[in-house]
Amino acid sequence: MSSHTQSRFAADVYSDRLERAVELMRAAHLDALLITPGPDLRYLIGSAAQSHERLTCLVIPANGAPASVVIPKLELASLEDSAVDELGLPVLDWVDGTDPYHIVKSALHAGSRVAVADAMPALHVLPLAESFGGIPVSATPVLREMRMIKDAAEVDALRRAGAAIDRVHARMGEWLQAGRTEAEVAADITAAIIEEGHTEVAFVIVGSGPHGADPHHEVSQRRIEPGDLVVIDIGGPVAPGYYSDSTRTYVLGDPTPEVAAQFAELERAQAAAVAAVRPGVTAESVDAAARNLLTAAGSGPAFVHRTGHGIGLSVHEEPYIVQGNDLVLRRGMAFSIEPGIYFRGDWGARIEDIVVVTDDGCESMNQRPHGLTVL
């Protein structure tokens, strides 16, 4: 497999996305999208270019003119693994001493109503605003609509990411042992994430005993003790940049009857939320499926965060599965289902899968058992 195939999708995928961006721009009465490096640029042209003080910007007009890339001449190599050449996009390179914001303006009609990606740094937004004579608007209505709905290539990438992180969880018994520190276990997990097919490590949470009650605990020098529950939340990207994110909870020895009963309720809550996913329901209704069950079981106050977050080229993106979000789910949306319960100073637990909405329900990207795994 070539490095180009590994780093991005086929050019026709990006061509379709650029055409869709133009359609959505016109519907939103926008004249152009300006996209600097980040997940949005990677989504639209397969470029993993980095953001610097020198402007790199994809310019997409809504008037039918071809998109173009404004880029410093010294950064041209960053486009080599993108789809720019195959798409035939004009490249407008510039050198120090040139005004790149004027180049962007010159690529568009006078008076254009431009929209910029949310992640564009202020050091570029402000000069663009000066060049165009007004603050650009947000491109979120266009980019959110596109990136929330995963196409077939993206779903396949998420499947591969899910299988890769499942392979890491399957090996947890190799490393998770009493007497070892969280940091020692995390180092082994970090190596395994790469070994099992990820291009890098995004995060490793090893929350043992009372640390499991902190949802965003990472690692420490605490030694894992017999009887501890241990929350393992891990993930990273697989080529071409789509993330895994999966949490399982382990116990070193048999749990107490009380812990086992509370965890069983958590397992039922996670399953209920997964079962609630289908086109036409709201994001908040999926959150309620887990939250109501835990509340009825008496663990409602211990569930202190949303049920899920979208995932794709970013670990956290829309849609968010949370109370108050009346967004209607559609086929192709991808997000986590991860209820948890946390008892401060004592223990915590979380179960997390990534799911993709299908025509009549959802497909889980993770296949590891959900129960409390005894090691």
Statement to judge: residues 96 and 68 lie in one domain: yes
Statement to judge: residues 138 and 177 lie in one domain: no
Statement to judge: residues 105 and 203 lie in one domain: no
Which of 117, 146, 175 terminates a domain? The answer is: 146
User: How many domains does the structure of the chain reveal?
Assistant: 2
Strands 229-235 vs 114-116: parallel, antiparallel or unpaired:
unpaired
pLDDT of residue 5: 39
pTM (predicted TM-score): 0.94
Statement to judge: residues 25 and 130 lie in one domain: yes
Rounded CA gap, 114 and 231, in Å? 45
Give the Å distances, CA to CA, from 350 to 280, 306, 359: 27, 12, 28
- Check which CATH number belongs to the domain holding 121 and give it: 3.40.350.10
- Check which CATH number belongs to the domain holding 263 and give it: 3.90.230.10
pLDDT of residue 118: 86
Statement to judge: residues 138 and 261 lie in one domain: no
Which of 146, 166, 184 terminates a domain? The answer is: 146
pLDDT of residue 6: 62
In the numeric block, the tokens 């887990």 are attached to 290
pLDDT of residue 112: 80
Statement to judge: residues 306 and 219 lie in one domain: yes
Statement to judge: residues 179 and 277 lie in one domain: yes
pLDDT of residue 276: 98
Rounded CA gap, 348 and 229, in Å? 7
User: End-to-end CA distance of the chain, in Å?
Assistant: 38
Statement to judge: residues 131 and 160 lie in one domain: no
Which of 94, 123, 146 terminates a domain? The answer is: 146
Range of the domain at 75: 3-146
Statement to judge: residues 97 and 225 lie in one domain: no
Statement to judge: residues 291 and 164 lie in one domain: yes
pLDDT of residue 163: 98
Closest CA to 124 of 38, 192, 64, 195: 38
Rounded CA gap, 327 and 120, in Å? 25
Statement to judge: residues 22 and 127 lie in one domain: yes
Rounded CA gap, 59 and 32, in Å? 7
Statement to judge: residues 136 and 173 lie in one domain: no
pLDDT lower than 50: segments of the chain = 1-5
